[in-house]
Every structure is written in structure tokens, then in C-alpha cells.
Amino acid sequence: MSENRVVLLGTKGGPAIRPGTRMPTSSLVQIDGFTVLVDAGLGCTRGLCDAGVALTDLDAIVITHLHSDHYLELGPLFHTAWTAGLNKPVPVIGPDGLDRYWQGFLASMEFDISLRLRDEGRPELAPLAEISVIAEGAQALGPLTMKVLRNAHPPIEDSFALRFDGGTCSAVISGDTAPIPEMVPFAEGADILVHEAMLSAGIEALCARVGNGDDRLRIHLERSHAPADQVGRIAQEAGVKQLALNHLVPCDDPNFTETHWRDETRRGWSGPLFIGTDGMAISLDT
Ligand SMILES: [Zn+2]
Ligand SMILES: [Zn+2]
């Protein structure tokens, strides 16, 4: 059986990239030989290949919410997988509205897609993405059980945390969320909790640097995201085996280093800690 693991493909919080920054959010979960992409932020296609996963080997895609840093590359991912030989439908589970994005993507690429159908004899692209609306609760996903928890990411209501349970291990992805008490029972005993995190001390500097927003950006960050020390406490209370931080905000400020992240998170968490970087692979077979 292949290794059970999580690979953090993109670990940056928010949609903007600049010279030297990480890529926005997507994560790979591989449990019991089943391969799931969670979120499809910019760079996910390259990230999958760099993680050694053929684009034709994805078994399912789950989108946690419809902020662009979590699904901007979904269409390009499918199109690229299609040109790389994808010929079976892949389930895509996400919030209501994802189908509209997919239809819009297909329409925007109509010239190229119809050309390749005629010219290269490819199968139809549209049915390869088998989109369904995500629902709270538990559902089977291949050999896994996927549990879905509505988290707290205002003003978006349809924003979710995910838990994947296999035969011998489990992984929890928080999605974008403020700290919520429900995360503790949801993540209980998991082999890994991948939780979004924010360094409160870096928020003022970040807002000053962005330059084209107003105070609403700071207010959004503070009520919709999770300070690292509180993430540590959630992991500790949930008794997870490992904690990884992703969706780091800020992550392109040289004044805030890995040490800052560790110090903040350690206020609540004493177990194995990974401050996410793009391409970081974490085994669940420990
Ligand atoms: Zn985000
Ligand atoms: Zn978000």
C-alpha cells in the first residue's frame, strides 16, 4: 500500500502573489491509496506534479469555499489533466456556485476546447468534472469517509472544514476559519490537523503594505481567520498527533519568520509542529 500522507501544495493565505512568495492554498491528501485534492488555488497543477502525482490519478477534488485563492485554478487543472490524458470523470465536491464557475471556464475556452475535440480526437471535457454540492455530515468518498463541518469564515456562509478517515489514519483540514470550538471534537485524535493560521502581530503591517484596501481588510482578517496561538490550543484539546499550519497570513513579510510562527503556536501546542511550506510532505504512517 502506498504511503498515507498530506502534501501542502500551496501554503499562502490570500490570492495575491509577489516575487518570492509562496503559492495560494491547496493540499493533497493520500489515504488508503485514494488521492484527494483539497482546494485548487493558483499553482495546484504544478504542485501536484511536483508532489509526484499524475494529473490523471486524482480520485476526487473538494473545494472548501469560493474565495478565489481556493479554486482559481480548478478549470486550468482540469483542462491540463485533459491534455495529459484524463479520460474518466473526477468527482468535484464544493459549495453551490462551483458549477457556474466550471460552465464559465468552459465557455471562456470554447475555441481551444472545440479545436482539440476536432483536431486531436479528445473526449468531451465538460463531463470529466462531476460536480456536486457539498453537504454537512458524513459521506463515503471512495474507500474513505469524508466528514464536513461548517466553519466560521464570514461573510461567506458556505465554508467548510473536512475530515478524511481511512482504515488506519485520518486527516483534518480546517479550511479558512476563525477559531471555533466545534473544531476540537471534529479533529479529535486525527493523525494530522492542517489548520489555517494568522500571526496577529503581522496584520497591521500587512494591511499597510497592501495599499489599495481600507480598514475592512483588517476587520475581515480578524473575524474570519485563526491566530496561531489559538490554533495550537485547538490542536492540543483535540489530541491530534501532528499539527501543520497553512494559509499563513502574513507570509511574505521578512519581519516575521518561522520562529515567530513556532513561538506563537507553542503557547498552546506541545506536539509535532510543521510550519507549512509549499511542497511539504507529512507522513501519516508514524
Ligand atoms: Zn483563503
Ligand atoms: Zn477564504
CA of 225 to the centre of ligand 2 (A): 8
pLDDT at 201: 85
What burial letters (b/e) apply to 18-48, b meaning 16+ CB within 10 Å? eeeebbbbbbbbbbbebbbbbbbbbbbbbbb
**Given a cut of 80, is residue 97 above it in pLDDT?**
yes
Banded model confidence at residue 213, pLDDT cuts 50, 70, 90: low
Between the CA of 232 and the centroid of ligand 2 the distance, in Å, is 20
What gap in Å lies between CA 148 and CA 22, rounded to an integer? 27
- Residue 87 φ/ψ, nearest 5 degrees: -140, 15
CA of 70 to the centre of ligand 1 (A): 6
Residue 110 in contact with residue 121, Cβ under 8 Å? no
CA 21 to chain centre: 17
> Environment class of residue 237 by beta-carbon count within 10 Å: exposed (0-12), middle (13-18) or buried (19+)?
middle
Q: How far is the CA of 114 from the centre of ligand 2 (A)?
A: 34
Q: Which residues constitute the domain of residue 15?
A: 5-283
CA of 156 to the centre of ligand 2 (A): 8
Q: Which three cell numbers stand for residue 131?
A: 460536480
Distance 144 CA to ligand 2 centre (A): 25
Domain count, the chain: 1
The string of DSSP letters for 38-49 reads E---TTHHHHHH
- CA dist 13 and 67 (Å) reads 11
Q: How confident is the model at residue 208 (pLDDT cuts 50, 70, 90)?
A: confident
- Mean pLDDT, range 61-87, rounded to an integer: 98
243 three-class SS = strand
CATH number for position 172 = 3.60.15.10
Over residues 201-215, mean pLDDT = 77
For the CA of 196, the nearest ligand? 1
pLDDT band per the 50, 70, 90 thresholds, residue 1: low
Alpha helices, DSSP H, located in the chain = 44-50, 74-83, 98-108, 110-120, 183-187, 200-210, 215-224, 228-238, 258-266
Cα–ligand 1 centroid distance for 173 (angstroms): 13
Q: Residue 202's pLDDT band (boundaries 50, 70, 90)?
A: confident
